Amino acid sequence: MRVVVIGATGHVGTYLIPRLVEEGHDVVAVSRSQREPYQPHGAWSKVTKVTIDRTAEEAAGTFGQRIRDLKPDVVIDMICFTLESAKHLVEALQGHVQHFLHCGTIWVHGPSVVVPTTEEQPRRPFGEYGIQKAAIEAYLLDKARREGFPASIFHPGHIVGPGWVPLNPAGHFNPEVFVRLARGEELALPNFGLETVHHIHADDIAQICQKIMANRSSALGESFHVVSPNAITLRGYAEAVAGWFGQEAKLRFLPWEEWRNTVSEQEAQATWDHIAHSPNCSIAKAQRLLNFQPRYSSLQAVYEALQWLIVNKKIEI
């Protein structure tokens, strides 16, 4: 099949494009051509690369037509962030694609209620990003179920892989947190350290895209979480990282209002975003309907990403 991937050279595309090529698809990779995938792979030589700036083309009203002109059987949209953007593309592709896969986020859920959170739970998103992604999901599901637009949605957790800094045990992205734990230095965590994060290896997101395509009739008009089998607490995560370096985690726990003053404003904001969600999502639906089998636990995924940071001297232990 001819598969057009919009936003093809990022975290997920790095794994997804080689998997699609190996499956025998005719792959078209759309991006602005400003960056390369995180890892080279021979499969990229078999891909048609198309340079399109979505933002500029949407402003001109031409983006949907550009994608339609690529004559896709399947479109995988990795970079849709507003309802307006989703509507523009769907209107252009209605009746012209066999399957449309949209990348959402587990932040379509607000704070967790009954955990693990299932796809069926009512959406209570907060923050512009989650609110827009939830609106896109509601729109696509309605289009699929009422009008037969062939949409399926996958909602990743925090994406991890070699090549970039994973969400750390303090709930932000400063790699210094890993260094402190590896050296056996004290680390302060907010509250009791019992709020959760839910990672997913980028390759497992690539896997679910293949499974959604392979199980089209089960996946049409459906959303799927794509996360590791289990969420982890900040405390447990910190203890595991310290243990990888033969250390016992020296943790100190501070109430949020005190803790936030121990980090930069940007780090505090990132942590707040993550722990206010404290995701803990179920993958039972994807396992049941798609036979999704994540290769990585959260800690395995982070371990691999951390090894990459060390070997490539991005952090020094």
Ligand X SMILES: NC(=O)c1ccc[n+]([C@@H]2O[C@H](COP(=O)([O-])OP(=O)(O)OC[C@H]3O[C@@H](n4cnc5c(N)ncnc54)[C@H](OP(=O)(O)O)[C@@H]3O)[C@@H](O)[C@H]2O)c1
Q: Which 297-316 residues touch ligand X, going by CB under 6 A?
A: none
Which is nearer to ligand X, 90 or 242 (by Cβ)?
A: 90
Quick count: other Cβ atoms within 10 Å of Cβ 317?
A: 11
Pairing of strands 196-197, 74-77: unpaired
Answer for which of 3, 4, 13, 44 binds ligand X (CB under 6 A) is 13
Q: How far is the CB of 39 from ligand X (least distance, A)?
A: 13
Give the helix/strand (H/E) hosting 27.
strand 26-31
Q: How far apart are alpha carbons 165 and 198 in whole angstroms? A: 15
Q: Is 8 in the site for ligand X (CB under 6 A)?
A: yes
Tokens of 31: 């991006």
Choose the binding region for ligand X from 32-40, 138-146, 281-289, 298-306 (rule: CB under 6 A).
32-40
Choose the binding region for ligand X from 29-37, 257-265, 268-276, 295-303 (rule: CB under 6 A).
29-37
Q: How far apart are alpha carbons 32 and 4 in whole angstroms? A: 14
Q: Is 172 in the site for ligand X (CB under 6 A)?
A: no
Q: How far is the CB of 230 from ligand X (least distance, A)?
A: 17
Quick count: other Cβ atoms within 10 Å of Cβ 198?
A: 26
Choose the binding region for ligand X from 39-47, 154-162, 248-256, 278-286 (rule: CB under 6 A).
154-162
Q: Is 10 in the site for ligand X (CB under 6 A)?
A: yes
Answer for which of 24, 35, 246, 265 binds ligand X (CB under 6 A) is 35
Choose the binding region for ligand X from 49-57, 190-198, 233-241, 253-261 (rule: CB under 6 A).
49-57
Answer for which of 3, 4, 7, 279 binds ligand X (CB under 6 A) is 7
Q: How far apart are alpha carbons 285 and 51 in whole angstroms? A: 36
Q: Is 76 in the site for ligand X (CB under 6 A)?
A: no
Q: Is 45 in the site for ligand X (CB under 6 A)?
A: no
- Nearest-CA neighbor of 30 among 15, 45, 47? 47
Answer for which of 17, 76, 97, 103 binds ligand X (CB under 6 A) is 103
- CB-based closest residue to ligand X: 10
Q: How far is the CB of 82 from ligand X (least distance, A)?
A: 11
Binding residues with ligand X: total (CB under 6 A) = 23
Q: Is 274 in the site for ligand X (CB under 6 A)?
A: no
Q: How far is the CB of 238 from ligand X (least distance, A)?
A: 19
Token pair 């499969």: residue: 43
Q: Is 279 in the site for ligand X (CB under 6 A)?
A: no
Q: Is 212 in the site for ligand X (CB under 6 A)?
A: no
Q: How far is the CB of 225 from ligand X (least distance, A)?
A: 10
Q: How far apart are alpha carbons 173 and 191 in whole angstroms? A: 18
Cα–Cα distances (Å) from 82 to 32, 132, 148, 246, 253, in that order, read 19, 5, 21, 45, 38
Secondary-structure breakdown of the chain: helix, strand, coil percentages, each rounded to the nearest 5: 45, 20, 40
Choose the binding region for ligand X from 25-33, 65-73, 215-223, 243-251 (rule: CB under 6 A).
25-33
Helix (H, G, I), strand (E, B) or coil at 192: coil
Angle between the N-to-C axes of helices 13-22 and 202-214, in degrees from 0 to 180, rounded to the nearest 10: 40
Exposed/middle/buried for residue 45 (C-beta within 10 Å: 0-12, 13-18, 19+): exposed
Q: Is 39 in the site for ligand X (CB under 6 A)?
A: no
CB 102 within 8 A of CB 151: yes
Which is nearer to ligand X, 270 or 290 (by Cβ)?
A: 270
Site for ligand X, rule CB under 6 A: 7-13, 31-35, 52-55, 78-79, 103, 105, 156, 158-159
